[in-house]
Each structure stands twice: as structure tokens, then as C-alpha cells.
């Protein structure tokens, strides 16, 4: 298992994490077996948004003995209301259910205190101008949470939150199907196949792209939900592209977006955990999503780098995707962010090592003018 920095929090997380939502209504024995196999395979981060009391208690029991080795992502604003899950914005309920979370998980701190599911402007305003953000900041000050996060499916509100500098972590829905949707797509539409009928399909949506790049520039780590599009991307009949992606391809797509630290895969059996972690030993060919996406007219990214590295090998050993990623980030703002400069300077080979052989351009399925990009990167970064 590989581990990544969670933005600038100082926390390291496994690049594959466990989304626990499918463990609800499952027996303790099953929950224990899923969590044990996840740990045995190096998974170190768990997302638990569910408010149902029994699943919380069962997960708490299952992680006994592991607590100091795992990163818990718990949610502020997820409540058990009228015997069912619901979002709450009442501060007394937020406090009650977050304390309930810590009690049932048998812990006196939560690593990531995630403000839960903020998808509308009204909700965002209410949270960031009201008591909920203050509560999150108080929890952080008291050491009950280590960092503040926010979960969202809406790139506009997510971008607003990141730009405030108040959140350390963003949990966001990322997969190639969502990425092509316009920024104001209704959340309910994310799952409807008809949503894709009239989309102006031109690769990754501009605002979504800006969101990922801003997170990278501000060093805000992203934890990803919906990597597999709730399974729809794995079947050609349900995939909006009319072609199926494999689990490693879908995971690789999310992991190659800027700022992404971990993809949280929802599993309800030990076999599903093993399926997800197969990614770690998958070959470059097995992970390569570019061939699939470039083969569909519904995902047109001609001339735009997707950071897939299908263009390798390079005789100068340049990590072409990384160079292009840092170049795109540098072009986002007038002044190149220090973090981007630092990351670029740490590359083993940089754009100045390009000998313009053109091998990469023949291999790029998205027809990126790579030699020109290398020239540009050399000018922008001075090497």
C-alpha cells in the first residue's frame, strides 16, 4: 500500500481507504472481517458518515487495538433523526451526534471532522456564517478533531470553502463521468443516465478542474467518494460512456487528479476490500484509463492533459503527467504557488531534459502537444 500526505495536515493516509457506508445493517462479525482485512492490507483511513447507532458501535468495537494506527473521518451534521439517517444543521443536534460518534467509536478524538454534505449556496452560507463552522473550529482548538474537512458534490460550493482557508480537507465525488458534468448539475442528476444526453462533453468541466487545482495549490488534501460512480462505471450498460471501466482504472483516474490523497471505496465484504486493494499490484496497463476514455466521443479531452502517463516511456525519464500537472497549476494564478515550485524542483527529470524525440506524442491518446508543453514548462519553471 502506498501512503500520501493529506494536504498540509501532517497526516499520512493510505491511497486506498475504506468507505464504511455499506456496513450499515451488517452483523458485527462481518464488519470485523471487513475492517480486519482492510488493515491487514494497509488501509489506514476510514470514512464513517453513517449516524445509525449500531453500525457506529460495531465499528468502534472492531477497531479496538487499532485506534492509534487509523485515521478516522467522522462527520459533523450527520444525525439519527426519527430512526433514520438525516442531515442536520441544528447546532444542538450536530453536537449531540458528533459526541455520540466519539462515544460509540470509543475515542476521545477524531482525525478529520468533516462538515457533512454541503451542496447548496444556502446551506454553505448558513454553515460558514453561523454556528457550525464555529463548532468545528472549537473542536479543533480543544483537540477533539485534528483537522476540519467539508464533504460536497458541488464544485462551486466546494471551491468557495477551499478558498476561505478554513478547511484542511475536502471530501469530493470524483470520477470521469461526474467530471464532464457542468458545475451546476443537480446532485440527483449525477446518477441519472439522461443527465448525459445533452451535456456539452468537452473533457473535464472547467470549475471541477479549477477546484482540484486550487486544492493542490493551497495544499488542501482531497479524499474521494463515488470513485466507481456507485458501480455504474463498471458496467457498459450503465456507464454513461457506453463502455465499462475496471476497478483499477476507475481508482487510477481519481488518484491522478491533483490534490487527491485517498480514494474511499465502499465495501461490504472482505472480497470487495481485496478487489479494491488489487490496484496496488496492478500493472500500468491495467490501471490505464486513457485508452477507454479516449475511445468514447462522450469524453472529449483533445489537446488537454489527463495526467494518465500513457505517453511513457520517455528516454529522458521525465514524468510527463507530473510536469504537465505542475505547468497547469502554475498557469492558474499570476504567481506560481511556492508548493508547486517545490514539487516541480523535486522531480528527478524536468522539462529541460526533453530531447524532443516525439515518442510521447505518438503515444498520447488525447493528442497533447507534449514537446510544446515541455518548452513552456522550461520557461515557466526555469528548468
Q: Beta-carbon neighbour count of residue 380 at 10 Å?
A: 17
| Cβ proximity to ligand SF4, 73 vs 322, nearer residue | 322
Minimum gap (Å) between residue 286 Cβ and ligand SF4: 16
* Residue choice 135, 326, 366, 381 for contact with ligand SF4 (CB under 6 A): 366
Gap between the Cα atoms of 13 and 6, Å rounded = 7
Cβ distance 199 to 180 under 8 Å? yes
Which of these segments, 34-42, 118-126, 193-201, 358-366, binds ligand SF4 (CB under 6 A)? Answer: 358-366
Total Cβ atoms within 10 A of residue 189 = 15
- Residue pair 290/310 in contact (Cβ under 8 Å)? The answer is yes
Residue from 274, 298, 307, 319 in contact with ligand SF4 (CB under 6 A): 307
To ligand SF4, the closest distance from the beta carbon of 361 in angstroms equals 7
Q: Could you please report the per-residue DSSP string of 188-225?
A: GGGG-GGGGTS----SS-HHHHHHHHHHHHHT-EEEEE
Task: State which residue, 51 or 175, has the beta carbon closest to ligand SF4.
Answer: 175
CB 23 within 8 A of CB 63: no
Q: Does 339 bind ligand SF4 (CB under 6 A)?
A: no
Does 370 bind ligand SF4 (CB under 6 A)? Our answer is: yes
Answer for which of 46, 145, 308, 330 binds ligand SF4 (CB under 6 A) is 308
324 binds ligand SF4 (CB under 6 A): yes
| Residue 37 parent element (H or E) | helix 28-40
Beta carbon of residue 257, minimum distance to ligand SF4 (angstroms, whole number): 12
Nearest to 124, CA basis, from 181, 163, 96, 85: 163
Binding test (CB under 6 A) with ligand SF4, winner from 316, 341, 352, 380? 316
Can you say whether the dihedral through the CA atoms of 94, 100, 106, 108 is positive or negative? Answer: positive
Give 184 or 284: the residue with its C-beta nearer to ligand SF4.
284
- Judged by beta carbon, residue 91 or residue 371, the one nearer ligand SF4 is 371
Considering only 223, 261, 309, 350, the residue that binds ligand SF4 (CB under 6 A) is: 309
Q: For residue 320, state whether it binds ligand SF4 (rule: CB under 6 A).
A: yes
| 28 near ligand SF4, judged by CB under 6 A | no
Binder of ligand SF4 out of 318, 329, 336, 340 (CB under 6 A): 318
> 356: which DSSP letter?
-
Strands 71-76 and 84-87: unpaired
Nearby residues of 234 by Cβ (< 8 Å), 6 or more positions away: 228, 244, 245, 246, 247, 250
Rounded Cα–Cα distance for residues 97 and 116 (Å): 12
Closest distance of CB 245 from ligand SF4, Å? 16
Rounded CA-CA distance 115/49 in Å is 10
Strands (E), the chain: 3-5, 12-14, 16-19, 45-48, 71-76, 78-81, 84-87, 110-115, 145-152, 169-173, 221-225, 260-266
Q: Is 237 exposed, middle or buried (0-12, 13-18, 19+ CB in 10 A)?
A: exposed
Choices 189-197, 245-253, 270-278, 307-315 (CB under 6 A): range interacting with ligand SF4 = 307-315
Provide, rounded to whole angstroms, the least separation between the CB of residue 284 and ligand SF4.
Answer: 12
Binding flag, residue 213, ligand SF4 (CB under 6 A) = no
329 binds ligand SF4 (CB under 6 A): no
Of 187 and 357, which CB lies nearer to ligand SF4 in the complex structure?
A: 357
* Min separation Cβ 316 and ligand SF4, Å: 4
Q: Of 146 and 252, which has the nearer Cβ to ligand SF4?
A: 252
Binding site for ligand SF4 (CB under 6 A): 290, 305-311, 314-316, 318, 320-321, 324, 354-360, 364, 366, 368, 370-371, 374
Amino acid at each position: 500500500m502506498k501512503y500520501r500526505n493529506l494536504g498540509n495536515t501532517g497526516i499520512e493516509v493510505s491511497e486506498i481507504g475504506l468507505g464504511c457506508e455499506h456496513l450499515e445493517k451488517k452483523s458485527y462479525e462481518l464488519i470485523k472481517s471487513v475492517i480486519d482485512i482492510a488493515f491487514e492490507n494497509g488501509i489506514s483511513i476510514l470514512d464513517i458518515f453513517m449516524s445509525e447507532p449500531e453500525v457506529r458501535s460495531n465499528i468502534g468495537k472492531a477497531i479496538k487495538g487499532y485506534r492509534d494506527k487509523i485515521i478516522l473521518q467522522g462527520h459533523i451534521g450527520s444525525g439519527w433523526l426519527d430512526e433514520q439517517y438525516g442531515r442536520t444543521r441544528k447546532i444542538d443536534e450536530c453536537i449531540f451526534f458528533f459526541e455520540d460518534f466519539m462515544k460509540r467509536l470509543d475515542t476521545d478524538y477524531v482525525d478529520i471532522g468533516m462538515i457533512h454534505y454541503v451542496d447548496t449556496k444556502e446551506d454553505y452560507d448558513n454553515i460558514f456564517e453561523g454556528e457550525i463552522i464555529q463548532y468545528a473550529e472549537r473542536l479543533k482548538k480543544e483537540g477533539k478533531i485534528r483537522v476540519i474537512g467539508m464533504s460536497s458534490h458541488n464544485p462551486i460550493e466546494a471551491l468557495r470553502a477551499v478558498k476561505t482557508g478554513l478547511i484542511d480537507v475536502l471530501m469530493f465525488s470524483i470520477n470521469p463521468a461526474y467530471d464532464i458534468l457542468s458545475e451546476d448539475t443537480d446532485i440527483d442528476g449525477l446518477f441519472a443516465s439522461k443527465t448525459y444526453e445533452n451535456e456539452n462533453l468537452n473533457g473535464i468541466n472547467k470549475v471541477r478542474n479549477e477546484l482540484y487545482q486550487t486544492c493542490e495549490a493551497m495544499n488542501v488534501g482531497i479524499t474521494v467518494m463515488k470513485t466507481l460512480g456507485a458501480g455504474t462505471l463498471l458496467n457498459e450498460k450503465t456507464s454513461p460512456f457506453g463502455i465499462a471501466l475496471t476497478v483499477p482504472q476507475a481508482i487510477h483516474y481519481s488518484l491522478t487528479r491533483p490534490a487527491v490523497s485517498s480514494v474511499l471505496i465502499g465495501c461490504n465484504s472482505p472480497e470487495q476490500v481485496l478487489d479494491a486493494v488489487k490496484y496496488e499490484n496492478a500493472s500500468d496497463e491495467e490501471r490505464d484509463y486513457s485508452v477507454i476514455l479516449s475511445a468514447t466521443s462522450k469524453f472529449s479531452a483533445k489537446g488537454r492533459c489527463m495526467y494518465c502517463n500513457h505517453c511513457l516511456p520517455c528516454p529522458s525519464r521525465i514524468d510527463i503527467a507530473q510536469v504537465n500537472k505542475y505547468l497547469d497549476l502554475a498557469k492558474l494564478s499570476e504567481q506560481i504557488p511556492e508548493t508547486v515550485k517545490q514539487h516541480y524542483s523535486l522531480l528527478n527529470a524536468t522539462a529541460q531534459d526533453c530531447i524532443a524525440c516525439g515518442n510521447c506524442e505518438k503515444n498520447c491518446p488525447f493528442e497533447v502537444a507534449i514537446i510544446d508543453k515541455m518548452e513552456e514548462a522550461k520557461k515557466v519553471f526555469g528548468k
